[in-house]
Amino acid sequence: MAKNTLTTAFYQTEKDLKHPIPIRAYKDRIFRMIFKEKRALLALYNAMNDTAYQDPEELVITTLENAIYLGMKNDVSFMICDRLFLYEHQSTKNPNMPLRNLLYVADLYSVLTKDMFLYGELPVAIPEPRFVVFYNGEQKMEERAILRLSDLYRPRTEHPYLELETLVLNINKGYNAELMEKCRELHDYSAFVALVREKRKNGMNLKHAVNEAIDECIHQDIMADFLRRNRAEVVKMSIYEYDEEKNYKMLQEQYWNMGHERGKSEGMAEGMAQGRTEGTNEGKTRAFIQLILSKMQKKYTPEQIADILELDPNFVKAVCQIAAPMSPNYDLDKIYETYHTMK
């Protein structure tokens, strides 16, 4: 089948979407590694839309290879049937996805329309975007949810002039069974993640859990070819994703606890509001310092730590310089106070 009008017009943009200057190194993820292959991506699209396209070349990949917002780029975006689809995988809940999608699609539109005249009387044709997040975190979530950009507006408005909706689908084992049945790749990815988590809950070392899960999946013909081809990368990515999810959880808990305790100590509503704000800022800095110290104990360099945690290299370097003379008995309070006075 021939490509649709807009899809054809943008077909040559695939090579234009690779920006010449990368903003920051980006750690690939297993989900993206699977679905950046057009055959698997088309299978997921068909499952999502009850279609039966057979030719993977119907898809035009529009992922911006080096566009990163809030430390993370879109996993995969593509065009088909004159529509633009942006798929993202998340292992933590993120109510800010509509805003992130807005920033991303704005940049994407700027690339797609770079040769169009936007200041004339004739309207330009752009593809309608649709945003989907595939969630498989350990926090409980319903099968599907809609996140709206307007939910982030302060003050709230009943009829917002700008709206953007993001569909969130829970792809953990036992959820969205019909979708899983329609897309073997998504089902197998979910099964692999569930198997690793099960082994971790039984007390197994993460690396051993991933390797055993790979062996069992290959034996059961679950992503067998993919896992054989990419075993080393899958092990590395699984460890990175687990560490990243753990880091996010730690930060969230420390932000809340610090703000909550500071607010309580003030004793009044105004004091609590101010205390939460100040406490959250202090909590953020302390939480980041704690993460940096944990990486220093593992002998990572400041450059590696900044890359792994996606933090400002200057901040990481400053913390490392303060903490280095204390090794291995780091004093978090003293490091924070020293850094705070340097600012």
Query: Are both 302 and 159 inside the same structural domain?
Result: no
Q: Tell me, what's the pLDDT at 147?
A: 98
pLDDT digits (tens, 9 = 90+) for 293-324: 988 988 889 988 887 777 888 999 999 999 99
pTM for the predicted model, two decimal places? 0.71
Q: Tell me, what's the pLDDT at 88?
A: 92
Q: Which among 136, 156, 182 is the end of a domain?
A: 182
Q: Which among 129, 149, 182 is the end of a domain?
A: 182
**H or E element that contains 84:** strand 83-90
What tokens were used for 36? 């950046």
Q: Which among 164, 182, 200 is the end of a domain?
A: 182
pLDDT digits (tens, 9 = 90+) for 106-152: 999 998 999 999 999 999 999 999 999 999 998 899 999 999 999 99
Q: Tell me, what's the pLDDT at 68?
A: 36
Query: How confident is residue 19, by pLDDT bands cut at 50, 70 and 90?
Result: very low
62 vs 196, residue with greater confidence:
196
Length of the chain: 343
Q: Tell me, what's the pLDDT at 306?
A: 83
22 vs 94, residue with greater confidence:
94
229 vs 259, residue with greater confidence:
229
In a domain, 208, yes or no: no
Instruction: Return d(Cα 101, Cα 87) in angstroms, integer.
Output: 10
Query: Are both 283 and 166 inside the same structural domain?
Result: no
Tell me if residue 59 falls in helix, strand or coil: coil
Instruction: Return d(Cα 165, Cα 180) in angstroms, integer.
Output: 23
Query: Are both 166 and 270 inside the same structural domain?
Result: no
Tell me if residue 165 falls in helix, strand or coil: strand
Query: Are both 31 and 152 inside the same structural domain?
Result: yes
Query: Given a cut of 70, is residue 5 above it in pLDDT?
Result: no
Please give the share of the chain, as a percent, with pLDDT higher than 70: 78
**H or E element that contains 179:** helix 177-182
**H or E element that contains 86:** strand 83-90
In a domain, 267, yes or no: yes
Query: Are both 174 and 264 inside the same structural domain?
Result: no
Instruction: Return d(Cα 116, Cα 28) in angstroms, integer.
Output: 32
In a domain, 120, yes or no: yes
Q: Which domain holds residue 24?
A: 5-182
Number of domains making up the chain: 2
Mean pLDDT (the chain, rounded): 83
pLDDT digits (tens, 9 = 90+) for 239-280: 877 766 665 555 656 555 555 555 555 544 444 444 444 445
Query: Given a cut of 90, is residue 39 above it in pLDDT?
Result: yes
In a domain, 301, yes or no: yes
Query: How confident is residue 159, by pLDDT bands cut at 50, 70 and 90?
Result: very high
What tokens were used for 51? 């279609």
Q: Tell me, what's the pLDDT at 309?
A: 79
Instruction: Return d(Cα 73, Cα 198) in angstroms, integer.
Output: 29
